[in-house]
Structure 1
């Protein structure tokens, strides 16, 4: 038994052990996916920032959602791409904790931002007369600040609890670090390592319940008015789709991590681990980009303007 936590200086990641024969193919595909993630998210972010007509609560929340996609994936893709070209798959103790913190806080911030977007749509459609007095720029900034700071604080507490545990192993059966797998290496479970994650799960499950409640009211309200129903289909459907993608990705990963069979192929395990960092960051901006008319028109106008300028130069 290891008597001192400082003995563990690196963790080994065994998720890549089964793909030695097609590492280059996976590398190219992963690099392409990461470039697409940057392209689609950065397009939405720049469009919202540059166009003052889009400085409205819904688009500001969307801008933060896209920024969160870049923040979360930055903890995974560069390290994963490096590991694909390396013969040894290890990560430092501090790097492992940081990676776990960023991935977890990104997923938590996703839920908070989606809850804010649901609240924004609820006020806009169900209480339109008080929308502008409730959703002021100052209040929107405060809501966004708390969405981020609470996610950071809760996951910081969880990471600190994990970091203070005495570890009796250094092998992580995955392609990246998460707090739960680090906690599993602890010599003995502490009350804090059980209570804090349980509180975090409950807290963000409450976000999901709030979103569900707000959409029940939205659907009831929109059924009585064709104008409201059109507004619901235009702005709420992409939000519902984004929520479904995030929730399903998170639940699949969480349930597989705890109850997955050891007989499942390594490639499928890797996909299950990656999909929370692959599908939502690509689907969210694409859904909003195609569905929200103002975003789509701004992007198309920019692209058409660029192509016209290039034709004139030639």
Structure 2
């Protein structure tokens, strides 16, 4: 506690000592972060640049890429600074802000994926109504709700936590997640119940909606033509891969933040980093490789870059 400034500082205790390999690991994580920025920025640029990609499905993909950029930026810059520092601390206020960004953007990811599932359902199952249902206004509302619903609910949890007295000042993680509740002198029953409600709203319900939507799509395409089944597979498979990978990592993060598991510190470190790195790296690869139109524009862009270098 800094009495002069009335600021409470927390020690981030989830790091392991890597000694002489510190700079190697630092540059490796930095390279991955730069790759996240470049790959997601390219996807956003391609969708913004080409009019034939101004369809709802691609707009949602661009939104996912923007969300991935913000998600990794909420954690990685601070992580890289702490990795080379001997004094790894963060103010309680900054910790709550990082907590807010982490769960807001994580929840927005699931809500954006749910919006994409709805778009695919309308496109494949009700193609004649698609232009009248998935208008620009509908897409804008869905994008707004994805971030607003997630952020507004997480904000309430932050306000409740900000009024709690701290009895411990060392986090056992590398960034601020639900483990911040373990620092409180008393476990807040209100916050625990509210946390379950938020988790249901921004994770469980979107995932259930996505599975229900895809079950309907599979049922309809199974009875339809081969071309429709192929279209459904091409557009839905990347979506499923992103959903499954992100869900598994989020469930791990929630369980370890709430329950004391006897995993080695190095395992916690690697898994925590995967939560932040895996999806922001995976999204542009999956959508760039599997979505035909994006892949076509991506190859054109690289060919143009190569020609420019030779000229």
Q: TM-score, normalised by structure 1?
A: 0.94
The residue that corresponds to 2:142 in the other structure is: 143
**Residue aligning to 1:258:** 258
Equivalent of 2:196, from 198, 203, 207?
A: 198
Matched, 1:170 2:185: no
- The whole-number CA distance in structure 1 between the counterparts of 2:48 and 2:233 is 25
Aligned-pair Cα RMSD in Å: 1.7
- Identify unmatched segments of 5+ residues in structure 2: none
Aligned to 1:226: 226
CA distance in 1, matches of 2:19, 2:103: 28
Is it true that 1:247 corresponds to 2:247 in the alignment?
yes
Q: Which residue matches 1:112?
A: 111
Matched residue of 1:128: which SS? coil
Cα distance, 1:24 vs structure 2? 1.4
8 Å CA contact retained: 2:36, 2:280: yes
Q: Aligned to 1:167, what secondary structure does the other structure show?
A: coil
Checking the alignment, whether the CA contact within 8 Å between 1:19 and 1:267 is kept in structure 2 is: no
Question: What residue in structure 1 maps to residue 209 of structure 2?
Answer: 210
Alignment partners' CA distance in 2, 1:253 and 1:295: 32
Q: 1:142, CA displacement in angstroms?
A: 0.9
CA distance in 2, matches of 1:220, 1:244: 20
Identify the range of structure 1 (111-120 vs 162-171) with the bigger mean alpha-carbon deviation: 162-171
Q: Give per-residue Cα distances to partners, 1:246-280, cap 9 Å, x unaligned.
A: 11111122223334533x32211101111111111
Distance 2:215 2:299 in 1: 34
Question: Could you report, residue by residue, the CA deviation over 1:180-201 in whole angstroms, capped at 9, with x for unpaired residues?
Answer: 2122111112332112211111
Please say if residues 165 and 183 of structure 1, whose CA atoms lie closer than 8 Å, have aligned partners that are also in contact: no
Query: What is residue 158 of structure 1 aligned with on the other side?
Result: 157
Contact residue 121 and residue 236 of structure 1 kept, 8 A: yes
Deviation at 1:165, TM superposition (A): 1.0
Q: 1:40 is matched with which residue?
A: 39
Q: Which moved more, 1:156-165 or 1:11-20?
A: 11-20
| Secondary structure, counterpart of 1:12 in structure 2 | strand
Q: Secondary structure at the match of 2:303?
A: helix
In 1, distance between residues paired with 2:259 and 2:100? 23
Relative to structure 1, is the Cα distance of residues 259 and 272 closer, same or farther in structure 2, using a 3 angstrom cutoff?
same
CA distance in 1, matches of 2:25, 2:103: 24
State the match for 2:60 in structure 1. 61
Whole-Å separation in 1 of the counterparts to 2:260 and 2:93: 27
- Matched-pair contact (CA < 8 Å) for 1:12–1:89: yes
Q: Is 1:12 aligned to residue 11 of structure 2?
A: yes
Deviation of 1:22 after TM superposition, in Å, equals: 2.6
Residue matched to 1:181: 179
Does the CA-based 8 Å contact 2:16-2:266 persist in structure 1? no
Q: How many residues align?
A: 307
Runs of at least 5 residues in structure 1 that lack an aligned partner in the other structure: none
Query: Structure 1 CA distance, aligned partners of 2:87 and 2:188?
Result: 32
Contact 2:12–2:90 (8 Å) recurs in 1? yes
Counterparts of 1:300 and 1:63, CA distance in 2:
18
> Is 2:161–2:191's contact at 8 Å kept on the other side of the alignment?
yes
CA deviation after TM superposition for structure 1 residue 238, in Å:
0.3
Alpha-carbon distance in 1 for matches of 2:249, 2:188 = 29
